[in-house]
Chains A and B, each alone.
Chain A
Amino acid sequence: MHFKRPVIAYLILALFAVIALYPLIDMLLMSFKDLPGIIAQPFSWPTSWHLENYVNAWGEGNLLSYLINTAIVSVVSVTVITFFSSMAAYVIARFNFKGNQIIYLTFLAGLALPIQMIAVPLFILMKQMYLIDNLLSVILIYSASGLSFSVFLLVNFIRSVPKDLEEAAFIDGAGYLQTYWHVILPLIRPSLSTTALLNFISAWNGFFFPLILLTNPNRMTVAVGVLSFVGQYSTQWNLLLPALVIVMLPTIIVFVFASRQFIRNMTAGAVKM
């Protein structure tokens, strides 16, 4: 399928790369300008670098606590989803028992449920459990709602690998628990790390549930905390832009480090759809 003259292909690809990255780089550059500079010359390279913008933004907002809260929510939910879904997927994919199909279908049904649609009963439930303004509320919702997608992908993936290794482990006297830990988990690692990254991104960027459940400024995550910051300093772009850069950098850095493996796994069918 290779082109004889790939120049045009590269030009189109480069154009879209610029479209994807330009706004982010531009925001980074603008965040170092002073206010008149941002308004007067939005496209130019900064003439002087105003590092104090970052100091001011950091001092003005609750950015550190937003970042810590978001990191707690994302890391805990991803850990829970990764373990629970791989355990469930192993049993669903490899054991024949009554109710297997029903349980699998119950998890699958969650894929068609836009999760906001059950926001009201979840809000009431969290209120009854005294979890409003508690990060645990969002963690529980993300962990539960992330299960559908992960169970679906992992069951598909486990079913697609031959049973030989598991049988060999069995003959060597390994129990199911050891088989799961020493055979299944290493085997499904590409699929598992891919779903973990996707779950991490959606937990980090999740907006709706933090919006309704975390209203105390000290409990807010990035997505909602920054929104109130924006509302408060709407025209002080020299404060806002550094704040936006600060909250977007952690995930970009995590992603760029994980990206090689992630891209390879995704395109090699670690995620079968």
Chain B
Amino acid sequence: MRKRRWPIIVGFLTPALVLYLMFIVYPFLSSIRYSLYNWNGVGPLVDFIGLKNFTYVLFSHEFAPQFWRAVAHNLYFFVLSMILTSIFGLLLAYLLVAVKERASRWFQVIYFIPMVVPPVVVAYIWSMYLEPNYGAISRALTSLHLNVLNVPFLGSGALALPTIAVITAWAGMGFPILIFIAAMINIPEEMIEAAKVDGASRTKIFFSVIFPFIKPTFLTITTLNFVGAFGAFDYIYIMEGTQAGPNYATDVIGTLFYRTAFGGFGTTAQGVGLATALAFVGFIIVMIASAFLVLLQRRASMDL
């Protein structure tokens, strides 16, 4: 009766494993190796310099300030996207669970649509709206006599990154909304009814019944937002260029890495060894944060 198991185990795992080992694991390991060399990508790998690329990234006068500024921007971007996801994602999911199912499904489809629009299209529409002279937003503000608010959003050092965070949220909110809904649907109706009988207000019910119940999901979304914020690149590259203007105000690890690896406007130091060291440090930050968040998530789901 027992059938031979090994042919199927080996046969079914091999295609995925080969692909994964070749194009994820092997490049990852070789990036660790490259990071130990002074190498510009051409010729043999001979100039072994140990951890010098890492100390250059983390501590040097020339490069470290750029690196830490980029990390700070990534963190800022993460905080902004968490604020936007927590306020709008949770609010919309909460409302969508409460209204009639047919209507709710339609709204869910609509909220997801911006996610399927290519980033270059999203970036272009919004740059067009935000154009400071004849852009639609600037003209709308002028006609409402709100000239005070009519500022060059993408050209301002203080506002460029928050503006891009809002655009990113506009384009990507559909996904967290659906994940929140999936979690909220499972809340037992009795728990909410019981709280109502006890005279709890809607806000109270949200914070003391609903939120604790979806906390594991909330932490998963936090993890995804963190990985996403540290991978931020597309919109910044398209809207602010390789130099992540204005005056590096939107420079994140992604754009700094791109310049270091592939050159372009605003490059101050370039090299394959240096770029891979920079990328590896970025990876470590993301890995530590994800591990921590997954731990919190495990604990939160055990509390339920």
B-binding residues in A (CB < 8 A): 1-3, 6, 9-10, 12-13, 16-17, 19-21, 23-24, 26-27, 39, 42-43, 80, 83-85, 87-88, 90-92, 95, 97, 103, 106-107, 110-125, 140-141, 143-145, 147-148, 151, 175-177, 180, 201, 204-205, 207-208, 211-212, 222-224, 226-227, 230, 237, 240, 244, 247-248, 251-252, 254-256, 259-260, 263-264, 266-269, 271, 273
Q: Is the CB of B20 within 8 A of A17?
A: no
B179 closest partner in A (C-beta): A273
Q: Is the CB of A87 within 8 A of B262?
A: no
> Quick check: which of B9-17, B50-58, B149-157 contacts chain A, the rest being far away?
B9-17
Question: Assuming the A-B contacts A88-B12, A140-B19, are A125 and B27 also in contact, with contact meaning beta carbons closer than 8 angstroms in the complex?
Answer: yes
Q: Is the CB of B19 within 8 A of A17?
A: no
Chain A residues, Cβ within 8 Å of B96:
13
B121 contacts the other chain (CB 8 A):
yes
Chain B residues, Cβ within 8 Å of A119:
257, 261, 279
User: When each residue 35-55 of chain B gets 1 if its CB lies under 8 Å from chain A and 0 otherwise, what string results?
Assistant: 000000100000000000000
B265 contacts the other chain (CB 8 A):
no
B230 closest partner in A (C-beta): A114
Q: Is the CB of A226 within 8 A of B24?
A: no
A229 closest partner in B (C-beta): B120
Q: Is the CB of A1 within 8 A of B111?
A: no
Chain A residues, Cβ within 8 Å of B300:
none
Question: Assuming the A-B contacts A6-B98, A260-B105, A273-B220, are A118 and B170 also in contact, with contact meaning beta carbons closer than 8 angstroms in the complex?
Answer: no
> Quick check: which of B64-72, B181-189, B243-251 contacts chain A, the rest being far away?
B181-189
Chain A residues, Cβ within 8 Å of B76:
none
Q: Is the CB of A13 within 8 A of B95?
A: yes
Taking a contact as CB atoms closer than 8 A, the residue among A80, A103, A112 that contacts B290 in the complex is A112
B83 contacts the other chain (CB 8 A):
no
Q: Is the CB of B233 within 8 A of A175?
A: no
Question: Assuming the A-B contacts A110-B24, A120-B31, are A87 and B12 also in contact, with contact meaning beta carbons closer than 8 angstroms in the complex?
Answer: yes
Chain B residues, Cβ within 8 Å of A227:
120, 238
Q: Is the CB of B27 within 8 A of A122?
A: yes
Chain B residues, Cβ within 8 Å of A10:
99, 103
Chain A residues, Cβ within 8 Å of B108:
263, 267
Taking a contact as CB atoms closer than 8 A, the residue among A42, A201, A263 that contacts B116 in the complex is A201
Chain B residues, Cβ within 8 Å of A92:
13
Q: Is the CB of B139 within 8 A of A42?
A: yes
Q: List 6 A-B contacts (CB under 8 A).
A: A107-B16, A121-B34, A144-B23, A147-B20, A207-B238, A255-B116
B282 contacts the other chain (CB 8 A):
yes
- 6 residue pairs, one from A and one from B, having the closest CB atoms: A114-B231, A144-B23, A121-B27, A88-B16, A117-B279, A84-B16
User: When each residue 195-237 of chain B gets 1 if its CB lies under 8 Å from chain A and 0 otherwise, what string results?
Assistant: 0000000000000000000000100100000010011011001
A260: min CB distance to chain B, Å = 7
B153: min CB distance to chain A, Å = 15
B59 contacts the other chain (CB 8 A):
no
